[in-house]
């Protein structure tokens, strides 16, 4: 049956728009990362406000208290550890540079070591420079953080408005399913970030106590680095271990051996005890899939993308599980976050 020119034009526009969407996402991926940060802020506010909502506090009041609690915790940490933490980070940078030089001098004494150094130096790798870049706060970064916080606060204040707006983009027969999917995505992200915060705190405390027992300087800063790095699963803990190893090198070879042993033990405990317990109640994404996704995001979009690779992977995993495995293939599978749909909105 022939179609009219208007109908053909409409279908052509829709087809072109769908074809250009991946290219648009690729070009504007920084905006996608910013939006991901905003959604994480909104979810964090709801996670903190959830106990207050359970005691029947009005949503606006609970969210306001949650925001003030988060700000109070951040301000308290800076007040208690701000100047001391800055001094400790400077000490870590100084010792890391000294440790790197010590290892370089050691490797230069062998043919294998010289070969290894030649490959490393071709990449001009320097851990102190890397750490300085990581902890340097630029104006663009601060602007992105402020925008993410403001947008996240708006989303948290009225999530139904944005959920309904997204649902309206779908044809009427599919709007109910789209709305349910968005709710499942929010539930999965809520569970993931709650589990991640618990795991980050446990690993940060364990690392801080371990390096303090070993006798390394700046245990608070090393624990803080481990805490922050744990936000990026699998790769973050490896990165966090490097400054501790270099600092231990400047203390003694015994301290180096104990530091490596402590990190290996902590991550064994995390991998075989802490993480399974958390994932049993939260969101479980296959480890290989998560690791490959983080590497893929880093290769495709740069180091910044690895920070948000895990939550984006969780969202994609929920979409594939619900829309393809369950709704298309009709397999009976559990959708992460679906059981969390009854949490206070």
Q: Which of 1-10, 73-82, 207-216, 297-306 has the lowest mean pLDDT?
A: 1-10
Return the DSSP state at 158.
-
Contact 157, 63 (CB under 8 A): yes
Q: Is the confidence at residue 174, as pLDDT, over 90?
A: no
Q: Tokens at residue 42, please?
A: 């909104």
Q: Tokens at residue 96, please?
A: 């890391």
Contact 102, 250 (CB under 8 A): yes
Return the DSSP state at 335.
P
Q: Is the confidence at residue 209, as pLDDT, over 90?
A: yes
Q: Supply the pLDDT for residue 110.
A: 63
Q: Is the confidence at residue 136, as pLDDT, over 60?
A: no
Q: Which of 25-39, 45-59, 103-117, 280-294 has the lowest mean pLDDT?
A: 103-117
Q: What's the pLDDT band for 221 if we cut at 50, 70, 90? A: confident
Q: Supply the pLDDT for residue 263.
A: 92
Residue tagged 């022939």 (tokens): 2
What's the rounded mean pLDDT across residues 330-337?
A: 79
Q: Which domain holds residue 84?
A: 5-342
Q: Which of 188-192, 245-249, 299-303, 334-338 has the lowest mean pLDDT?
A: 334-338
Q: What's the pLDDT band for 117 if we cut at 50, 70, 90? A: low
What's the rounded mean pLDDT across residues 147-175?
A: 87
Q: Supply the pLDDT for residue 120.
A: 52
Summarised one tens digit per residue, pLDDT across range 255-282 is 889 999 999 999 888 888 888 788 777 7
User: Could you give the CA distance from residue 41 to residue 145 in angstroms, rounded to a whole number?
Assistant: 10
Q: Supply the pLDDT for residue 124.
A: 47
Split into its structural domains, the chain has a count of 1
């Amino acid at each position: 049956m022939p179609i009219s020119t208007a109908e053909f034009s409409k279908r052509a526009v829709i087809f072109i728009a769908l074809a250009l969407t991946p290219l648009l996402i690729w070009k504007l991926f920084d905006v996608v990362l910013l939006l991901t940060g905003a959604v994480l802020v909104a979810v964090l506010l709801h996670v903190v406000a959830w106990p207050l909502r359970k005691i029947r506090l009005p949503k606006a009041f609970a969210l306001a208290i949650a925001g003030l609690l988060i700000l109070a915790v951040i301000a308290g940490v800076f007040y208690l550890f701000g100047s001391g933490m800055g001094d400790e980070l400077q000490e870590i940078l100084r010792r890391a540079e000294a440790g790197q030089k010590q290892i370089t001098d050691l490797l230069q004494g062998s043919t294998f070591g010289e070969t290894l150094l030649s490959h490393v130096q071709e990449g001009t790798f320097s851990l102190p420079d890397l750490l300085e870049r990581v902890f340097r706060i630029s104006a663009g970064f601060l602007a992105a953080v402020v925008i993410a916080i403001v947008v996240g606060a708006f989303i948290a204040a009225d999530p139904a408005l944005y959920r309904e707006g997204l649902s309206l983009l779908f044809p009427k027969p599919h709007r109910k399913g789209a709305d349910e999917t968005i709710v499942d995505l929010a539930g999965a992200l809520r569970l993931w970030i709650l589990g991640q915060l618990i795991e980050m705190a446990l690993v940060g405390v364990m690392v801080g106590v371990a390096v303090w027992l070993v006798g390394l300087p700046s245990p608070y800063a090393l624990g803080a680095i481990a805490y922050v790095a744990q936000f990026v699963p699998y790769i973050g803990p490896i990165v966090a271990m490097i400054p501790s190893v270099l600092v231990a090198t400047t203390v003694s070879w015994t301290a180096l051996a104990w530091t490596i042993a402590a990190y290996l033990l902590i991550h064994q405990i995390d991998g075989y005890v802490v993480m399974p317990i958390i994932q049993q109640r939260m969101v479980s994404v296959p480890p290989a899939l998560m690791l490959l996704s983080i590497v893929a995001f880093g290769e495709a979009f740069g180091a910044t993308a690895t920070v948000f690779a895990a939550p984006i992977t969780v969202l994609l995993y929920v979409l594939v599980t619900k829309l393809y495995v369950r709704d298309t293939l009709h397999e009976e599978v559990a959708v992460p976050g679906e059981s969390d749909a009854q949490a206070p909105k």
